[in-house]
Chains A and B, each alone.
Chain A
Amino acid sequence: MATAAVTTERENYLNAEYGIKSWLLTTDHKRIALLYLISITFFFFVGGFFALLIRLELLTPAGDLVLADTYNKLFTMHGQVMVFFFLIPSIPATLGNFLVPMMVGAKDLAFPRINLLSWYLYIAGGLLMLLCILTGGVDTGWTFYTPFSTGFSNTNVTEAGLAIFINGFSSILTGLNFVVTIHRMRAPGMTWSRMPLFLWSTYATSIIFLLGTPVIAITLLLVVMERAFGLGIFDPTRGGDPVLFQHLFWFYSHPAVYIMILPAMGVVSEIIPCFSRKRVFGYKAVAMSSIAIAVFGFLVWAHHMFVAGISLYAALVFSILSYLVALPSAVKVFNWTATMYKGSISFSTPMLYALGFIGLFTIGGLTGLFLACLGIDVHVHDTYFVIAHFHYIMVGGALMGYLGGLHFWWPKITGRMYPEAWGRLSAMIVFIGFNLTFFPQFILGYLGMPRRYWQYPPEFQVLNVFSTAGASILAVGYLLPMVYLLWSLRYGKLAGDNPWGASGLEWTTQSPPTTFNFDETPEVTWEAYDYEHIPLPMEVTLER
């Protein structure tokens, strides 16, 4: 590339200003995205470290590596850190922050200062969480079930509750910013039906942020107040109802699963058309299914409570609604598959991650049918079957989507290409390691191994050994990108403005983009995924 040398000299959002202050006080959505990227990566490795210790403890049936109390804290903090400080902000706060304004053709989000505020709220919550961990941790399980959390746990429940409470406002503000930006700041010609599907899924996610997060905030506040002032909302000896907590908790925390998976679905909906050189099959169906998931997602919370003592008829209603929310997910899988039909498919790293996503998400989705099924759920509820299922969705799905998206937009974010061979290798290692870690857990669960067990009967050991072996492979798969992506910042091949020949306004800007993204407001005259009219760059054409 003859222009390569010149490209680095061009002014962009990274070299527009220098110094720590220019980062900490920035209102540029792209810089804030990078602040998030660094902070969530930190929390990912904190949560991953806990996971590693959990898997090591479970290598043997006896509780021998850590104490029972330590083990309980490990799985609690693994869950809380991974869910609230990594998965929920992962795609929306990094890729979403970076891409939403660029995809709609705007200079920034609607409220740039509020965007910075939400990062500070995230950091405030995160620091409180770290303080909570360093001063002894929490042992309630990430679900905070009462009356254990309110009346029996002697750990830092209040601190953890407040940390998640504060962090929740970061989500709410991000959601608000996205909703307003998508409604009000689309470039001329960027109609709703021309929006990239990533925007549709980000929009659906933002609605859940806005409607769901306040409920978990209130719920955790009630827990904190019951601990501090003896309120008696959940304590049965004071007329409270411990099961009420579960309703309130899952009213947010089930939709939260869709907060994690919807953005990943959006990423996959961008990657597959690009590497198949085709318009996505059934654009409207894929877009509407995101909205359907967000809406139905609010109506299925009590499927977490089929054995909690809810009425027979409530259980029937929540079971049937859970099947309805499975439909739009199935529709997406079928449409992605159909998109590849008669395409021109290449196997770059993002595509491998996207294909891995479809595989793992399909398994995760199908096992969800087992759990929505009343007769089966009674047996597998609170066993490793559930653990396996939600890791297939949240790690196999959301994390694969996140890594795929990170590789896909890496050239745009940094202006550099990551090393392709290493990328493909890591995608493959993650896929294999993941299945080896979590597939045995389905069988363990059906055999009856309960979750959150520090020690377990010896007959469960063989499958646990498989799982721990898989986890060590998985760890390598996650460390690799960390290493080569950092390496590429300095030594990576310079990326052109549109190395993949991808559609979308973000690819019409320079790499990395300038502070205000577009020199002049673009005007959109084409449909989304107009791959018929986008030429492939030379090197991508030659590469199979």
Chain B
Amino acid sequence: MFENLPLWPARASTMAGNVDLLYIFLVLLSLFTCVAIFITIVVFVTKYRRRLDGREAQQIEGSVLLEIAWTVVPLGIFMLIFAWGAIIYFQERVLPRDVAEIYVVGKQWMWKLQHVEGQREINQLHVPANRDIKLIMTSQDVIHSFFVPEFRIKQDVVPGRYTTLWFRATQPGTYHLFCSQYCGTQHSGMVGQIVVMEPAQYQAWLTTGGAFGSLAANGASLFAQLGCPTCHQSEMQGRGPILSEVYGNPVRLEDGQTVVADDNYIRESIVNPSAKIVSGFKPIMPVFQGLLNEEQLNELVAYVKSLNPPPAGSVNSPGIAAAETKPQQP
């Protein structure tokens, strides 16, 4: 009977075991607390039930010692749970180094996925097992949420910005992808599959059809097509900043602030360029809000990222294929 009634989903990522361990601890702790309280109540209501012999209740004022005890002891336990949960949350939120990137666009009511190598998928995401994958996600309409129960991960996908999520799948197989943030009529139809493959199989999958050139290459042609090189020249200073070596580095702004040029910064600088003006430049760039769809934006961001010279000992492309040639991390 219990094969049909599992208590948790399959554990298919490195995170799943950690989350389940804490969950099981909390379930046992709650069971213990519940049983202790319920037994106490049952004993009290039985032992001290009203009797016909006229025995009266014994008036007790309270006890400061007990009040302190049952405040401090739970507090200690709560802090333990908090710390344990915080550690797992850190693991979930802090990205590992050298991670393969995949772009995700949510829209009513489907998931669109762009591999750096150029493959595009809808409602299905192929990933290799035992490889850290980072999802760079945005929505083109309302808020969605990317939820894979078997991986124990979830992140809201918010229009107008990138949110990120990472995982490392451990078990080849097919898993649920749910939208968990209510998004309208077909919310429950905004579901898909995560297909986890052995690395070799995945390499084979990458070569089978569908690719239209890498994401960065598409971004490069879009960049040219939109006339961006007129100002953003690659060799000499134009009317806009040179874009090589921008990504990941601090940028000094006109108002004296310094920000790190991450994905969100680059995205914002395309759709709403006057939000953050680089020091020494004028706010002359046209606004691209509404002129580019989210997938095109992703291509442009991928292109700008590809302009960085490869760091020593690493590979230029953050894609999975390039990284596959390197020795696997244990």
Contacts and interface: CB of A to CB of B under 8 A. Distances in A.
Interface residues of B, number: 90
Contacts of A241: 160
A454 B57 CA distance: 53
Given A381-B180, A450-B180, A276 B57 contact: yes
Interface string A433-467: 00000000001001110111111110000110000
Nearest to B178: A450
Contacts of A331: 67, 70-71
Contact of B160 (A242, A333, A373, A456): A242
B226 interface: no
Most chain A Cβ neighbours within 10 Å, of B40, B85, B159, B161: B85
B181 A68 contact: no
A237 B290 contact: yes
B87 A307 contact: no
B330 interface: no
A282 B64 CA distance: 8
Interface string B209-222: 00000000000000
Interface stretch (A93-101, A193-201, A322-330): A322-330
A279 B90 contact: no
Given A375-B22, A532-B59, A381 B154 contact: yes
Interface residues of A, number: 94
B5 interface: yes
Q: Is the interface of B mostly helix, strand, loop or mixed?
A: mixed
B180 A544 contact: no
A345 B61 CA distance: 17
Given A145-B143, A337-B41, A312 B60 contact: no
Given A330-B74, A379-B152, A448-B9, A366 B33 contact: yes
Interface stretch (B48-56, B128-136, B238-246, B247-255): B48-56
Nearest to A533: B59
Interface in A147-192: 147-148, 151-153
A344 B50 contact: yes
Nearest to B79: A323
B19 A343 contact: no
Interface in B7-58: 7-9, 18-19, 22-23, 26, 30, 33-34, 37-38, 40-41, 44-45, 48-52, 54-58
Contacts of A455: 188-189
Interface of A: 63, 68-69, 72, 139, 141, 145, 147-148, 151-153, 236-237, 239, 241-243, 276-279, 281-285, 306-309, 312, 315-316, 319-320, 323, 326-327, 330-331, 333-335, 337-338, 340-347, 355, 358-359, 362-363, 366-367, 369-370, 372-379, 381-383, 443, 446-448, 450-457, 462-463, 531-532, 541-544
Nearest to A454: B188
Interface of B: 4-9, 18-19, 22-23, 26, 30, 33-34, 37-38, 40-41, 44-45, 48-52, 54-63, 66-67, 70-71, 74-75, 78-79, 81-82, 84-90, 92-94, 108, 141-143, 145, 147, 149-150, 152-156, 158-161, 163, 176, 178-189, 191, 272, 289-290
A373 B87 CA distance: 10
Contacts of B272: 239
A340 B48 contact: yes
Contacts of A367: 30
